[in-house]
């Protein structure tokens, strides 16, 4: 399923397959993802904390937008097509590139399973611009929105879990510091919310934020959005 959905098309084909209904409360979530070698380093730390403290493992990511409700495969593909078109227009209108992700501090919110242990990301105008863009693409409001509570900040989660199992900040490996990377790609994940559903999360599409020449032989990320 995931490999089929990763091929992004600007045309949605209506078929019995595309009309297949998804499980109740299915949502799409849009993530910035780290490149290598940071992705492997972060994944190793997430896996270590999950094993040591009894939480689920999950891919390292910064959520741009979540809670995009979809009920059928057709609706899912329509969202992916709109996101792809929005990023392509952005590439054509300016010199696009990666998003600079700098992390300022570690925070804990033990009462919130999916923000139990996080790295707070610096909130830049270019990050907000991208969040506004994807919200517009899927028909959501661009004014008055906030990053999810209780942190209300952009962040990268390091541990998911319940209040009685959250690691201390001092348990985070020093190998992560200083933590920063340029995110070149956005991934679309299909999920159901709840700690018990984390192992079932699936990547549906990967969208490149960088400019490609027509023949795809030259990728331009030199002028990274958000870089100093």
Residue 139 domain-assigned?
yes
The pLDDT-based confidence of 43 (bands split at 50, 70, 90) is: very high
Domain that holds residue 75: 2-220
pLDDT at 16: 57
* 3-state SS string for 12-40: CCCCCCCCCECCCCEEEEEEEECCCCHHH
List, in order, residues 6 or more apart from 226 with CB less than 8 Å away.
98, 99, 100, 124, 126, 127
Distance between CA 9 and CA 34 in Å, rounded?
24
Question: What are the tens digits of pLDDT across the range 175-195?
Answer: 888 899 999 999 999 999 999
Note the pLDDT of residue 188. 98
- Measured distance CA(6)–CA(28) in Å, rounded: 14
Q: 41: domain CATH number? A: 3.90.1140.10
**Domain count within the chain:** 1
Residue 149: inside a domain: yes
Q: Residues for the chain: how many in total?
A: 228
* 52-90 pLDDT, tens digit each: 999 999 999 999 999 999 999 999 999 999 999 999 988
- 63 domain residue, yes or no: yes
Query: How many angstroms separate the CA atoms of 27 and 126, rounded?
Result: 25
Helix/strand/coil (H, E, C) string of 129-145?
Answer: HHHHHHHHHCCCCCCCC
The span from the CA of 219 to the CA of 106, in Å, is 33
Please state the rounded mean pLDDT for residues 45-52. 97
């Amino acid at each position: 399923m995931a490999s089929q959905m990763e091929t992004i098309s600007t045309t949605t084909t209506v078929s019995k397959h595309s009309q297949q209904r998804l499980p109740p409360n299915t949502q799409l979530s849009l993530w910035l993802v780290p490149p290598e070698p940071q992705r492997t380093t972060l994944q190793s730390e997430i896996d270590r904390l999950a094993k040591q403290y009894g939480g689920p493992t999950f891919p390292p990511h910064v959520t741009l937008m979540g809670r995009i409700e979809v009920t059928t495969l057709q609706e899912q593909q329509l969202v992916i097509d709109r996101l792809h078109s929005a990023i392509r227009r952005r590439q054509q209108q300016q010199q696009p590139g990666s998003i600079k992700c700098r992390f300022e501090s570690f925070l804990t919110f033990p009462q919130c399973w999916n923000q139990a242990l996080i790295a707070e990301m610096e909130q830049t105008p270019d990050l907000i611009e991208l969040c506004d863009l994807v919200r517009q693409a899927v028909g959501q409001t661009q004014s008055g929105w906030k990053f999810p509570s209780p942190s209300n900040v952009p962040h990268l989660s390091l541990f998911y879990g319940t209040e009685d199992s959250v690691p201390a900040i001092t348990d985070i490996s020093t190998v992560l510091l200083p933590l920063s990377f340029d995110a070149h790609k956005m991934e679309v994940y299909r999920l159901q919310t709840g700690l018990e559903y984390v192992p079932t999360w699936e990547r549906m599409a990967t969208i490149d934020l960088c400019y490609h020449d027509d023949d795809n032989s030259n990728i331009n990320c030199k002028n990274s959005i958000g870089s100093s």
